[in-house]
Amino acid sequence: METFEHAFSPFRLGPLTLRNRLVALPAGTSMAEQGVPTHGDTEHFGRLAAGGVGMIIGGATVVHRSSTLRSRKLVEAYVDEFVPAAAAKARVVHRHGAKFIGQLCHLGREFIGGESDSPPVAPSPIKTARDAYPPHELTVREIEDIVEGWRISTENLVQAGADGAEIHAAHGYLPAQFLSPLTNRRTDSFGGSFGNRMRFTRMVLAAMRSVVPEGFVIGVRLSGEEEIPGGMGIDDCVRIAEDLACLGADYFSITHGTRGNYVKDAGNPDAVAVPSAARVRAATGLPTLVGQRIRDAATAEHIVKSGHADLVGMARALIADPDLPEKSRTGRLAEVRGCLGINQDCRAFDPHLHCAVNAEVGRGRHPNLGVPAPRSKEVYVIGGGPAGLEAARVAAGRGHRVTVFERSTRLGGTVRVAAESPHRATIIDIVDYLGNEMKRLRVEVNLAAGIEADDFAEILSLADHVVLATGSKSAGIRPGLAARASATIDDVLLGKVPEVPGRRALVYDEGDGFWPAYSAAESLLRDGWQVTFATPLTGLATRVPAESAGPLLRRLGAGGVELLVGHEAVVPGDASEPVLLRPAFGGGTQRRLEDVLTVWHSPRVPVDALVREVPEGAPVTVIGDCRTPRRISHAIAEGYQAGARI
């Protein structure tokens, strides 16, 4: 059994003793009302602490009214009402044995996708590519007022009983905007030389130090690489860290990126910021925390054992499974529910934090969980995709006798096809986890066991409750294309496409904007095809998470894929005529696509034959894609609820 002795060894962070080296990184919940954390936010932090981390850093908490959103969903540390709410959070974290650090932030010219009643502000009036308006250039008096906001916010954290505070000087937010020559073009004492560009962050650190008692920790989060043209790199980061180390910083938290590219999806390698953290640690001699796409205790063990960093942070991995630390420490690695790295629900904030694979995030634990079911029932689950398996997991965990029937020879349903997409292989992790849970919970799993309509009456007579989770299937080849060279999205991802002279392909997304058509285009590109991608939508990858859309489109563009928005495909009735592409809103030129493979993405269709056979009043729950095809998160949430209610 792996023990991860380094990752789970205690660590002295200034005056604090942490029970281990694992840290929950800042990840805001948006569970705030009028800038004040709600009970749901506190409950989330308690859940993280109970899972066994050594320290939790709260999500970015703004320090000044000029950095608030109209929704007031960001926590505001400078208001008096913040103190009792933060105190409740600190108490619950301490009760479970972890330490609590509040991260303090000013977004500057960034507004993280939300409107504000205040104008964006920055050291210089340089507009981002992400937001609509150029920022107001801060005056010296306004700078001093924001620094005062940092002081007040720190004082509030002290009153709330927090163990420390962290300056968010990474990801292109206000301190980083002062630090970088790319965004700071000032000619006064806050711009120009390195010392002048450091002035704002030095003032913030000094203001914070002026109000904290002995034993209160102050850290700084920095981007080792901003990963934008002209942005700061590791040499800049090391120089900044050396300066702040001399001024009283207690630790550094090292990440990569700026807004829009710092939440790394499954297309990125794991642990990307570790070399940068090692440089900062070696240069400053201060405790160093590293995070960013670190998903398991084995990686944390290697980082600490190798001396690259002292502490290892996780955000999404702990959202997916808050118990990851304790499960890893006690050798229950197969029970860890891994983060898929798809940035789907955890980055949507609709209306607050959720997780594609953990239905409790943002919803809370169902009251039926944690206590055995009043009576153990015979539960049959028909369908071994994520919805059915999650229902089976939860029901079996409550003491029911569960049997799963799956038509295929493998579990996973549609997820198995999607996992064949380039850069998306990690989504199969949810199937592996649920498959392991079936074994642990002694769920009987029958593969190659399709249930037909004439079997259904017998199933109903044998079970106390039936869960129908029969999933969805491809809509098939679109009418009119069968006589032409054509394929479905599933065909492409599974490598079942006909050869076409010249290997030219049209991938047409008729209105989804999500991954399937784009994955098919990338799969064909990888296999040497010349690809045209077209959609009648007015934007590209409109439903792909923002942090994934940019890298996806850059990969397609770099490979020579022609990307056309506002174009509709027309299939003539005469099979000898080529498919046509024409501007959806008129104007432009109609194109004839001769000798191409046409991949037409239409919505999937439910496999719902058994759903139509359900008698009135029968103890049957229908979940997942057989209701209507949607996302993994819907399947997991419905499976969780179904299992909890039986």
pLDDT tens string 39-49: 999 999 999 99
Centre a 10 Å sphere on the Cβ of residue 574 and count the other Cβ atoms it contains.
9
For the domain that residue 516 is a member of, what is the CATH number? 3.50.50.60
Centre a 10 Å sphere on the Cβ of residue 16 and count the other Cβ atoms it contains.
18
Q: How confident is the model at residue 1 (pLDDT cuts 50, 70, 90)?
A: low
Q: End-to-end distance of the chain based on CA atoms, in angstroms?
A: 36
Q: How confident is the model at residue 2 (pLDDT cuts 50, 70, 90)?
A: low
Q: What angle in degrees, to the nearest 10, is found between the helix axes of 546-558 and 515-526?
A: 30
Which residue stretches of 321-408 are H helix? 324-329, 386-397
* Closest C-alpha among 343, 27, 66 to residue 171: 27
344 lies in a domain?
no
200 lies in a domain?
yes
pTM of the complete model: 0.95
Name the domain boundary from 281, 301, 335: 335
Same domain membership, residue 563 and residue 449: no
66 lies in a domain?
yes
343 lies in a domain?
no
Same domain membership, residue 590 and residue 613: no
In the prediction, which pLDDT does 371 show?
A: 87
What share of the chain in percent tops pLDDT 70?
100
How far is it, in rounded angstroms, from Cα 609 to Cα 548? 36
How far is it, in rounded angstroms, from Cα 179 to Cα 123? 10
Across 408-437, average pLDDT? 97
Distances (CA, A) of 88 to 36, 237, 518: 12, 35, 45
Q: pLDDT (tens digit, 9 = 90+) per residue, 530-541?
A: 999 999 999 999
Same domain membership, residue 206 and residue 77: yes
Q: pLDDT (tens digit, 9 = 90+) per residue, 226-238?
A: 999 999 999 999 9
Same domain membership, residue 259 and residue 247: yes
Q: pLDDT (tens digit, 9 = 90+) per residue, 327-368?
A: 999 999 999 999 999 999 999 898 999 999 999 999 999 999
367 lies in a domain?
no
Same domain membership, residue 404 and residue 330: no
Burial 25-57, CB ≥16 within 10 A → b, else e: bbbbbbbbeebbbbebbbbbbbbbbbbbbbbbb
Same domain membership, residue 554 and residue 420: no
In the prediction, which pLDDT does 576 show?
A: 87
Q: Which domain holds residue 143?
A: 11-335
pLDDT over 90 (residue 132): no
Estimate to the nearest angstrom the gap between the alpha carbon of 621 and the chain centroid: 29
Backbone torsions φ then ψ of 167, nearest 5 degrees: -80, 120
Kindly give, in sequence order, each residue whose CB lies less than 8 Å from that of residue 14, ignoring residues fewer than 6 positions away: 164, 215, 217, 250, 251, 287
Burial 464-478, CB ≥16 within 10 A → b, else e: ebbbbbbbbbbbebb
> For the ranges 127-131, 155-159, 235-239, 260-264, which has the lowest average pLDDT?
127-131
Instruction: Tell me the pLDDT of the chain averaged across its residues.
Output: 96
21 lies in a domain?
yes
Same domain membership, residue 427 and residue 388: yes
* The two three-digit tokens of residue 607, written as one number: 């496999």
Same domain membership, residue 16 and residue 125: yes
Same domain membership, residue 549 and residue 448: no
How far is it, in rounded angstroms, from Cα 461 to Cα 468? 15
For the domain that residue 392 is a member of, what is the CATH number? 3.40.50.720
With residue 17 as reference, give the H or E element that holds it.
Answer: strand 16-18
Name the domain boundary from 274, 307, 335: 335
pLDDT over 70 (residue 216): yes
Name the domain boundary from 304, 335, 366: 335
Across 435-444, average pLDDT? 98
Same domain membership, residue 190 and residue 136: yes
Same domain membership, residue 220 and residue 77: yes
* The two three-digit tokens of residue 575, written as one number: 């099979």
33 lies in a domain?
yes
For the domain that residue 53 is a member of, what is the CATH number? 3.20.20.70
The structural domain count of the chain equals: 3
In the prediction, which pLDDT does 131 show?
A: 84
Across 16-22, average pLDDT? 98
In the prediction, which pLDDT does 588 show?
A: 81
pLDDT over 70 (residue 197): yes
| Contact between 620 and 341 (Cβ < 8 Å) | no
In the prediction, which pLDDT does 545 show?
A: 94
365 lies in a domain?
no
Same domain membership, residue 229 and residue 322: yes
* The two three-digit tokens of residue 177, written as one number: 């905007």
Question: Peptide bond before 322: cis, by omega within 30 degrees of 0?
Answer: no
How far is it, in rounded angstroms, from Cα 614 to Cα 150? 61
